[in-house]
Amino acid sequence: MTLGRLNHVGIATPSIDKTVETYRHLLGAEAIGAPFDLPPQGVRVCFIDAPNAQIELIQPLDETSPIANFLRKNPAGGQHHLCFEVADMAAAIAGLQAKGATLLGDPRIGAHGTPVVFLHPRDMGGVLVELMEMPGEGH
Amino acid sequence: MTLGRLNHVGIATPSIDKTVETYRHLLGAEAIGAPFDLPPQGVRVCFIDAPNAQIELIQPLDETSPIANFLRKNPAGGQHHLCFEVADMAAAIAGLQAKGATLLGDPRIGAHGTPVVFLHPRDMGGVLVELMEMPGEGH
């Protein structure tokens, strides 16, 4: 595996609407997607495009969402995860497991409709890292 | 101001050497710069290149560094800030001040040798945001 593109930075927020307005008003964000729900993950998400990468705003759908727990510790919101692209998820997972990395659960379908998997922050210097297969590049 | 490129994600770490090895071993990072000190900021930094953006690893030079304080709360390290590029720092600052944003101090010269300024996390949904002028694009 070679380090792939930084697809997005995930940011937890108690209010996607308010945070979108912040990025629009203060930073001049213009390419803002429509928010949508991901019920299996317990979250509502919204992507803001920077020219080279995306910001994924993540709001809990209910109090059982992992993001709700994050917001209990960080009520204003904050940086939640980094997502790097991989060409082949199966190969990436096999390689990580061979190196003893801890994956958080099985791969699932992420917000972009392709397989994603999360690495435990303790393996990555306290940073929650998501790997995301790019459409059409997998096997 | 229009939202510019996500230049880098800043990650605090107690050990640049160990975190570089993690990114190399687990994620296949290959383009890893030489670490260097920024004494005025009290930090040592190291840039890892993803194809479209950089990871800035930040290690405190001493216990008075702001990063030392971050690590007291997050001993393993963690995501510290996001840095977006601006074409014209003076214009960006004037616009932000006109909108009532709180800047953390005056602009200074950042790790890439161009002016940078930080926005208070309370203005940005709990996220510390750095703005960085691109070389040759300012006025």
CB contact under 8 A, B126 and A78: yes
**CATH superfamily of domain region B6-133:** 2,3-Dihydroxybiphenyl 1,2-Dioxygenase, domain 1 (3.10.180.10)
Among the partner-chain residues A30, A49, A124, the one whose CB lies closest to the CB of B22 is: A124
pLDDT digits (tens, 9 = 90+) for B72-116: 999 999 999 999 999 999 999 999 999 999 999 889 998 888 999
Q: Which band of pLDDT confidence, cut at 50, 70 and 90, is reported for residue A136?
A: low
A38 to chain B, minimum CA–CA distance in Å? 21
Q: Which band of pLDDT confidence, cut at 50, 70 and 90, is reported for residue A1?
A: confident
Provide, as residue numbers in chain B, all residues whose Cβ is less than 8 Å from the Cβ of A76: 121-122, 125-126
pLDDT digits (tens, 9 = 90+) for A34-84: 999 999 889 999 999 999 999 999 999 999 999 999 999 999 999 999 999
The contacts of residue A65 (CB under 8 Å, 6+ apart) are A41, A42, A43
pLDDT digits (tens, 9 = 90+) for B25-61: 999 999 999 999 999 889 999 999 999 999 999 999 9
Q: Give the type of residue at A38.
A: L
CB contact under 8 A, A51 and B122: no
Q: Is A130 a catalytic residue?
A: yes
Please tell me if residue A3 touches chain B, with a CB cutoff of 8 Å.
yes
For residues A129, A130, A131, A132, the Cα torsion angle rounded to the nearest 10 degrees is -150
B139: pLDDT strictly greater than 60: no
Q: How many residues does chain A have?
A: 139
CB contact under 8 A, B52 and A48: no
Please tell me if residue A123 touches chain B, with a CB cutoff of 8 Å.
yes
ipTM (interface pTM): 0.94
| Residue B49, beta-bridge partner list | B54
**Closest listed residue to residue A128, CA positions, set A115, A138, A139, A117:** A117
DSSP chain A: -----EEEEEEE-S-HHHHHHHHHHHH----BPPPEEEGGGTEEEEEEE-SS-EEEEEEESSTTSHHHHHHHHSTT-EEEEEEEEES-HHHHHHHHHHTTPPBSSS-EE-TTSSEEEEE-GGGTTT--EEEEEPTTT--
Among the partner-chain residues A5, A121, A122, the one whose CB lies closest to the CB of B51 is: A5
Domain boundaries, chain B: 6-133
Residue with structure tokens 């950089």?
Answer: B54
Please tell me if residue A100 touches chain B, with a CB cutoff of 8 Å.
no
Integer Cα distance of B101 and B93 in angstroms:
9
Q: Please, which residues 13-72 of chain A have a Cβ atom closer than 8 Å to chain B? A: 13, 18-19, 22-23, 25-31, 48-53, 55
Find the mean pLDDT for residues A96-119: 93
